[in-house]
Copies of this chain bind each other. A is one copy, B any other.
């Protein structure tokens, strides 16, 4: 039984990690930390009543290392980078759900996050936790940078085409839509029910931090430099990301070929479902699946992809990475 600590236990991703691990036969949550809360986990997350009735605590790194083997770090960026080096030094394995170890270049990190990265060497050597691309490298790692939700959707949709050199790398437009849970549990005007409900809006046009993350990974799997135009939108729903992606094929491409490229690329991957119908976010709600299809319209390639931002976009892929790090079956607790 692997003993788990959840750091930053009050947020939605922490909640989802706990919910998933409750089903995991080889993992047991021993510590849930919080700086602001000290009561029962189930009094903060009432859906966990009867499942996690022990108290949240604020333990030292030494105490965590005594109680746990693996840490799911659910802190916000910056706080995560402050905590992780000492956790690793204490011999813990870490799945970092923040953005702090995703970008490989410290200067890119500084540009997009507005502060210097204090652990630059490790930054450049951390494996990006997208199992469909980096499965073999994830196995046995001590630290994994769990990917962003928009990022996973976009990369999974595009990787078969950019890695195969099938599309113009400068032609990519990602029109992405997300449910509101992705914005987190901290009260803000913009995520109040009365602001979001019955409303659809764009935000972060040209400035969203998932854009450089997408470009880094797509450039990594391609032989070319990939630049994307990425536009996120907020949808009045809890969960789900939908990406509508437009790209210009380098050579003529049929719809059948496009879908076949997807199928080949994801053959053997249990959580990517290449479908022929148009996917809906509801099809993957509360699951670790990413559903993808392709269309060719007026000569342009369109890729449509969906996943649950809380599961395959955060907590689910974190558990998937955890399974790989611990050499468990990749699908444990996720089907």
Contact = CB atoms under 8 A, between A and B. Distances in A.
Interface string A169-206: 00001010101110101011101111111111111011
Quickly give the copy total for this chain: 4
A245 B198 CA distance: 21
A46 B279 contact: yes
A239 B198 contact: yes
The 8 closest A-B pairs by CB, nearest first: A199-B282, A206-B297, A187-B187, A201-B280, A180-B193, A175-B175, A193-B196, A47-B283
Contacts of A107: none
Chain A interface size band reads 35 or more
Contacts of A302: 205, 231
Interface stretch (A58-66, A118-126, A140-148, A270-278): A270-278
A194 B200 CA distance: 15
A237 B240 contact: no
Contacts of A189: 185, 187
A187 to B, nearest CB: 4
Contact of A278 (B177, B196, B203): B203
B235 A235 contact: yes
Interface stretch (A74-82, A83-91, A96-104, A284-292): A284-292
A101 B41 CA distance: 42
A40 to B, nearest CB: 11
A106 interface: no
Contact of A202 (B181, B201, B289, B304): B304
A240 B289 CA distance: 24
A238 B206 contact: no
A30 interface: no
Interface in A276-335: 277-287, 289, 291, 295, 297-298, 300, 302, 304, 306, 335
Given A49-B273, A187-B189, A278-B203, A285 B177 contact: no
7 contacts: A173-B246, A175-B175, A175-B244, A187-B189, A191-B192, A233-B244, A235-B236
